[in-house]
Amino acid sequence: MQFRIADSFVSSLAGLNGAEQKAAKTTAFDLQVNAESPGLSFHKIDRAKDKNFWSVRVSQDIRIIVRRVPGSILLCYVDHHDKAYAWAERRRLETHPTTGAAQFVEIRERVQEVRSTKRVAEPTAAYGNLPFAGVADAELLRYGVPSEWLPDVRNATEDSILTLADHLPAEAAEALLELATGGTPRVSAPQGASVASPFDHPDALRRFRVMTDVGELTRALDAPWDRWTVFLHPAQRELVERSYDGPARVAGSAGTGKTVVALHRAVHLARTNRGSRIQLATFSDSLASALQLKLLRLAGSEPRVLENIDVATLDSIALRLYKSRMGSAAIANADDVSRLIDTALLAHPDSNFSKRFLLTEWRDVVDAWQLRSWEAYRDVARLGRKTRLAERQRRILWAIFEDVRRQLESSGKMTTADLLESLTEHMRESRQLPYDFVVVDEAQDVSVAQLRFLSALGAGRPGSLFFAGDLGQRIFQTPFSWRSLGVDVRGRSTILRVNYRTSHQIRTQADCLLAKELADVDGNKEKRIDTVSVFNGPRPLVATSADERAEGIAVGRWLSERAREGVAAEEMAVLVRSTGQYSRARAAVEAAGLKHFELDASGRVENARVAIGTMHQSKGLEFRAVVVMACDDEVLPLQERIEAVVDDSDLEDVYDTERHLLYVACTRARDHLMVSGAEPASEFLKDLRG
């Protein structure tokens, strides 16, 4: 008996409460073990257009919809009795006549509803009045549009296109949305007769999966909200399994599944390269903890796979390797460096450079690039540092930084960049590299010293380095050339364009904060205008209040409304620019009558409590409903960063990274988003309103 599950079953399971999920899982396991068991209660769904649909009783009111044919069972859907039957009566399983992919097709009994639906999102000008009127039937079929839906697609207007997409198979919906926004849809080969089975087509693999044993089914159903552990988009699967002849990078806006690809890539490498050592790395403890949890969900029942994958931050990896190969290390932290600069300034009282400028110049130029001589500092390009410095000014600065270097050496301490540089040189001379493959998540925030270290770990071996990141989410590092450090991803850089996490409305509004095209120093470009979201939601609320108290009341009211709609407290977050605004966030949550907790480095979520955290801490997390509050004029962009700028030309990078930070915070929201501030509000709120 071949036993499959559909993504529609997993997503509907997530909509049940805990007790209902447990009962549904038990019945699913019983079906897999013995579908002919007399204890299972099957009922034919007489009104279903697909005569192979049956219901299976879970409890008094919960039913699983299965498709049963000789030698095969497919778990399709689960819900309360009436909703489950309604789902089955509106769908049938078909093999698409052109693509050859198996797909659920919704019966066209609701066409009038689709046509008359009012506008649910702001359309782009590219939609036109009838965006698909001139597209040939053959082309629409090639994208996976079901034959009986061709007339509705042809008559779709800018008002109905998003609602229409909700009724179509995923590949068809994505293609239509991409066409409507001026893009060129991808087609998943093979086509038609070249497919061995309708379930083997790449588009079918995104929604149907064979479960070979109870353990595999258990993993698939353990966290039904994490469908990525089971179902991959064809574009993602291709990146996961591809062989590369050099360093590779996957990019894409927030929510497009870059982390999913990185995780699956690490597991794929461990499965296909027995005995290999794989490092899955990122830049913060909270992100590393989140990756570890997701890795356990993905491959928790494969100990041989897990034992070959190490998850850690890049700095902790370097510190561990340094201690094991080169000895102990005393690391100078930011406070140590600040004190050393204070001491150096006493010897150079006429420098006329602010403490803030000296700290950033040390961090982003001298220490980052490991400059050890006046000549090196004189000639450095200072990428990302737009303040112009004459040679006379650089001489004064170098005298200060030379003193800092001397103090570091005499104290027996080194910076993390120093440690990485020493370890990099050691790795280049060593024939015993610690890892066969390195997969890096959130790669846009990798530092100069870290990338040099990674280049040494890769040692030019084909496919040994894989990066996942988004230039639009760069919030920590100034831009620099990867190619100059031996990591050239040109020709091996791919952009994901389908957003799974964030609604169309939230994504399009958040994208107003960024340019339509971003480019790195090496000229690799990321276009953002042709990204499509696969689901709709309410329009985000961008609001300003007369003062902080009024804002807290407004935010509290918004949170209360979400709670009444069924959003659990642990599915909500209130994010602020820095901990200085925590009191405002706490007051808003309390005004809603809800409890809260503060995010920490673990990234954990507490049941029945709203998360409060900074925009930085939210990186890598997601919630159903998010409030980004306290977006006041001198809070965002942060006044301290603006005051640290010596030259007006440096303001551009400050504003860019502050915009990126707000973008990161907004795109933590899946369904609901509120962005607010007290007057005078941040100028970024005007951009968000479009």
294-327 pLDDT per residue, tens:
898 888 878 999 999 999 999 999 999 999 999 9
| 603 band by pLDDT with thresholds 50, 70 and 90 | low
Helix count (H) and strand count (E) of the chain?
A: 27, 24
| 600 band by pLDDT with thresholds 50, 70 and 90 | confident
The verdict on 193 and 241 lying in the same domain is no
Domain of residue 402, residue span: 335-413
What CA–CA distance (Å, rounded) separates 234 from 190?
Answer: 11
Q: Is the pLDDT of residue 127 over 60?
A: no
pLDDT score at 32: 94
pLDDT score at 619: 87
Q: Mean pLDDT, to the nearest integer, of 427-434?
A: 88
Question: What ranges make up the beta strands (E) of 508-659?
Answer: 517-519, 525-527, 532-533, 541-545, 572-576, 596-598, 610-614, 623-628
Q: Where are the alpha helices (DSSP H) in 542-638?
A: 548-564, 582-591
pLDDT score at 436: 95
Q: pLDDT per residue over 353-371, tens digit each?
A: 888 889 988 998 999 999 9
| 192 band by pLDDT with thresholds 50, 70 and 90 | low
pLDDT score at 115: 47
The reply to whether 609 falls in a domain is: yes
Q: Mean pLDDT, to the nearest integer, of 678-689?
A: 92
Q: Mean pLDDT, to the nearest integer, of 268-281?
A: 95
pLDDT score at 189: 66
Burial of 637 (0-12, 13-18, 19+ CB in 10 A): buried
**Which domain-ending residue is among 500, 523, 553?**
500
402: amino acid identity, one letter: E
Q: pLDDT per residue over 33-86, tens digit each?
A: 999 888 899 999 999 999 999 999 999 999 999 999 999 999 999 999 999 999
Q: Mean pLDDT, to the nearest integer, of 333-343?
A: 95
What's 315's domain CATH number? 3.40.50.300
What's 75's domain CATH number? 3.30.2310.20
Q: How far is C-alpha 230 from the geometric centre of its chain's CA atoms? A: 17
**Which domain-ending residue is among 413, 435, 453?**
413
The verdict on 445 and 466 lying in the same domain is yes
Q: Which position has the higher pLDDT, 233 or 406? A: 406
pLDDT score at 653: 76
pTM: 0.84
CB 636 within 8 A of CB 645: no
Integer CA distances (angstroms), 656 to 16, 310, 621, in order: 42, 33, 22
Q: Is the pLDDT of residue 373 over 50?
A: yes
The verdict on 566 and 475 lying in the same domain is no
Joined together, the tokens standing for residue 196 give 């061995």
The verdict on 251 and 282 lying in the same domain is yes
71: amino acid identity, one letter: G
CB 78 within 8 A of CB 56: no
Q: Mean pLDDT, to the nearest integer, of 248-273?
A: 94
Q: Is the pLDDT of residue 124 over 70?
A: no
- The 10 Å Cβ neighbour count of residue 65 is 27
Q: Is the pLDDT of residue 649 over 80?
A: no
The reply to whether 532 falls in a domain is: no
At 300 the three-state DSSP class reads coil
Q: pLDDT per residue over 606-628, tens digit each?
A: 889 999 999 999 988 889 999 99
Q: pLDDT per residue over 458-497, tens digit each?
A: 987 899 999 999 888 887 777 888 999 989 998 899 999 8
Q: Is the pLDDT of residue 246 over 90?
A: yes
The reply to whether 510 falls in a domain is: no
Q: pLDDT per residue over 495-537, tens digit each?
A: 998 888 888 899 999 999 988 888 888 888 877 777 888 788 8
The verdict on 130 and 249 lying in the same domain is no
pLDDT score at 119: 36
The verdict on 670 and 622 lying in the same domain is yes
The reply to whether 527 falls in a domain is: no
Tokens 């050393």 -> residue = 340
What CA–CA distance (Å, rounded) separates 378 from 365?
Answer: 11
The reply to whether 525 falls in a domain is: no
CB 553 within 8 A of CB 561: no
Q: Please count the structural domains in the chain.
A: 4
Which DSSP string corresponds to 235-253? Answer: HHHHHHH---SS-EEEEES
Joined together, the tokens standing for residue 477 give 């590092």
The reply to whether 241 falls in a domain is: yes
Average pLDDT, the chain: 89
What CA–CA distance (Å, rounded) separates 602 from 297?
Answer: 17
Q: Which residues contact 515 (CB under 8 A, 6 or more apart)?
A: 528
| 129 band by pLDDT with thresholds 50, 70 and 90 | confident
Q: Is the pLDDT of residue 223 over 80?
A: no
The verdict on 170 and 272 lying in the same domain is no
The verdict on 548 and 620 lying in the same domain is yes
**Which domain-ending residue is among 357, 379, 413?**
413
The reply to whether 544 falls in a domain is: yes
Helix (H) or strand (E) holding 208: strand 208-210
Residues above pLDDT 70, as percent of the chain: 93
The verdict on 17 and 166 lying in the same domain is yes
pLDDT score at 227: 75
Nearest CA to 514 out of 572, 475, 467, 468 is that of: 475
pLDDT score at 51: 95
Q: Mean pLDDT, to the nearest integer, of 576-598?
A: 96
pLDDT score at 383: 60
207: amino acid identity, one letter: R
Q: pLDDT per residue over 15-27, tens digit each?
A: 898 899 999 999 9
Q: Mean pLDDT, to the nearest integer, of 122-146?
A: 76
Q: Mean pLDDT, to the nearest integer, of 548-570?
A: 96
What CA–CA distance (Å, rounded) separates 454 from 440?
Answer: 9
The verdict on 287 and 364 lying in the same domain is no
The verdict on 404 and 483 lying in the same domain is no
CB 602 within 8 A of CB 293: no
| 224 band by pLDDT with thresholds 50, 70 and 90 | low
Q: pLDDT per residue over 158-191, tens digit each?
A: 778 878 888 999 999 988 888 887 778 878 766 5
The verdict on 342 and 310 lying in the same domain is no
pLDDT score at 548: 96
Q: Mean pLDDT, to the nearest integer, of 248-269?
A: 93
The reply to whether 224 falls in a domain is: no
CB 258 within 8 A of CB 469: yes
